Amino acid sequence: MKPGLRRLWAIFYRHGALYRRSWPRLLDFVYTPILELAVWGWTMRYLSAHAGLAAEAAGLAIAALLLWQGALSGQLGFSVGFLEDVWTRHLGHLFVSPLRPAELLIALTGLALLRVAAGFTAAALLARALFALDVLRLGPAAFAALALLAVMGLGLALGITALILRFGLGAERLVWTLMAAITPLSCVFYPVANLPPILRPAALILPSTHVFEALRALFAGAPTPLVRAELGMAALLDLLLLLLMGSAFLGAFASARQRGGFLRFEE
């Protein structure tokens, strides 16, 4: 194996060894997606049966919820993978090894995508068993939506880790709260038009908003070009987010080397 690949494998090995010894961490891969799907799925089913909500709307909401887990798992998978080395004061040892920052980012991305796949698979199986919703019925668009949301989660995680590198563990709170904070603007359960006009521009710069607009268009039987246009816009915004947050991470890394951030991690 080439040294660069072996270094990537080292990070997978490090987290594999950690998860092998810690079942609560392993459970966390599927815990949140299953919990959220169960709570909101049953709520939507109740509303559709008792409040006259159309059955398709309930199905749409459950599908949206299922896909939103992609963004959540992507963000958490990456951020928590990074935090494991912050919590154990291990970053200093890692960054004097031949491991390059970009290699760490690639490995954390791979780990986060594994978490997305595990969480989505568990939640999709549950949605099929409990709510008779087969998300695969949506075709390739469902996978494109999941991938775009996962990439958005990764982009946001890059930004959060940059803030942790710059400001220390005071920024850790964002790992647990940022996705909840942007859920209303992502228009997961309602169209952008439902937001107050003043908030719509902020919503439209989020890739997730376009993914969910595409999903609603798909459920409403809108023409394929419209769905593709929304997904294309989400992909473009994802790319911009990754570039922006990747630069922020590299800037924060350089700043940590300048300020001694790896020697004394601020709380």
* Residues in contact with another protein by the rule CB under 8 A: 3, 6-7, 9-10, 13-14, 17-18, 21-22, 84-85, 88-90, 92-100, 254, 257-260, 262-263
d(CA 233, CA 229): 6
Nearer to another protein, 239 or 254 (CB): 254
| Nearest approach, Cβ of residue 168 and another protein (Å) | 15
Nearer to another protein, 14 or 128 (CB): 14
| Nearest approach, Cβ of residue 134 and another protein (Å) | 39
Residues whose CB is less than 8 angstroms from the CB of residue 46 and which lie 6 or more positions away in sequence, other chains included = none
Q: Kindly tell me the sign of the dihedral angle through the C-alpha atoms of 123, 125, 127, 129.
A: negative
| Nearest approach, Cβ of residue 166 and another protein (Å) | 15
Nearer to another protein, 71 or 104 (CB): 104
d(CA 263, CA 156): 26
Nearer to another protein, 1 or 193 (CB): 1
d(CA 25, CA 256): 29
| Nearest approach, Cβ of residue 37 and another protein (Å) | 29
d(CA 26, CA 42): 25
d(CA 97, CA 224): 49
